[in-house]
Amino acid sequence: MPILFIIDPPQSLHLEKDSTLALMKEATKQNHEVFFCLQHDLYMEDLQLFCRAYRFDLAIFPDHAKAYETYSISFFKALFMRKDPPVDQAYLHTTYLLDIAEKSNVKVFNKPSSIRSWNEKISILQFDTLIPKTLVTANPEIIKKFFKKHGDIILKPLDGMGGKNIFRVSEFEKNLNVILEIMTSHGHQMIMAQQYIPEIKLGDKRIIIIEGKPFPYALARIPMEGETRGNLASGGQGVAQSLSERDLEVASLVGKKLLTEGLHFVGIDVIGNYLTEINVTSPTGIVELFEQTKQNPAELIINAIR
């Protein structure tokens, strides 16, 4: 079965830990034909969607044959959109083209329209009983009131990833005004504020959900000493843990809903008892989970194509 992966530039991938590469390797192991391309390799001509793609060869990856081949998108039976955020204009334009791929009977992971509608930060608001106290606004004065009420908060941009530009603001913070000026672009850019969850010290748990069902282990990303963020990209240590009863409750409720939206492979973040993010673009962590548990999420994900 031919499968296409839309990826970041191959030379930018961290090959030892990259989840996209793990999926490509697993698809090859299962005797699928695996191809990859970048966003700009998609194009429309005469009302048909085409792709300039490279055949995946693990022996030489991230290098690849210099000559691409052009395929009608209908040649592929499945397609994985694995471009990392931000979900900017180029990303959105790609999802519009992938709507057309779906009409060509290509199974797209994840559903393009749902990627657009399920912002990875804001979408948690659809699960109000599962989340910490949360605010979304561009107004610095409203954020200051939220801070005064809760005393210890986290500030996040709505389109970031990997822990970038996330701030913890506690009672001793003297730079709140300038932080808010920068993050909200002087009151014109919405951000998220959340009540600080002390259990972050025990790990920011990434739970993989495949076809609506949670993988039985979470990757608890434990912050470095003196750090608030547990993200691996921010220096956190990933430790596989069996899901707690609360983890299962949260993941099952969220997973059931997401599957109805065509979101087949997602990663949710849970701190303590609270859902904090829903990752629908390019969830990661499957390599670390496989290494530590010997159970392979990539195998389950590729099996879901059938």
Q: Distance between terminal CA atoms of the chain?
A: 10
Place of tokens 């986290």: 154
Q: In this predicted model, what pLDDT tens digit does every residue of 171-186 receive, in sequence order?
A: 777 789 999 999 999 9
Whether the predicted pLDDT of 136 surpasses 70: yes
Residue 46 makes CB contacts below 8 A (sequence gap 6+) with: none
Tell me: pLDDT of 230 over 70: no
Q: What is the pLDDT of residues 56-107, one digit of tens each?
A: 999 999 987 778 999 999 999 999 999 998 899 999 999 999 999 999 999 9
Identity (one letter) of the amino acid at 90?
A
Rg of the chain taking only CA atoms, in angstroms: 20
Of 108, 111, 86, 85, residue with least CA distance to 4: 108
Residue type, 290: F
Closest residue by Cα to residue 31 from 70, 3, 72, 65: 3
12 token code pair: 């930018």
Whether residue 128 is predicted with pLDDT greater than 60 in this model: the reply is: yes
Give the mean pLDDT of 199-205: 94
Under 8 Å between Cβ of 204 and 220: yes
User: Do 33 and 23 contact (CB within 8 A), yes or no?
Assistant: no
Q: Which residues are catalytic?
A: 121, 156, 206, 221, 229, 269, 277, 279
Residue 16 neighbours by CB under 8 Å, 6+ apart: 287
CB of 42 closer than 8 Å to CB of 50: yes
| CA separation for the pair 209, 240 (Å, rounded) | 15
What's this model's pTM, rounded to 2 decimal places?
Answer: 0.93
Closest alpha carbon to 135 in 127, 147, 126: 147
Q: What percent of the chain shows pLDDT beyond 70?
A: 96
The domains found in the chain, sorted by start residue, are: 2-109 (3.40.50.20), 133-196 (3.30.1490.20), 199-303 (3.30.470.20)
Average pLDDT on 132-158 reads: 96
pLDDT band at 233 (very low <50, low <70, confident <90, very high): low
Task: Give the pLDDT band (50/70/90) at residue 287.
Answer: very high
The per-residue pLDDT for 226 is: 61
Q: How distant, in Å, are the alpha carbons of 31, 107, 253, 254, 263 from that of 128?
A: 43, 31, 12, 11, 20
d(CA 281, CA 292): 24
- pLDDT at 67 (0 to 100): 81
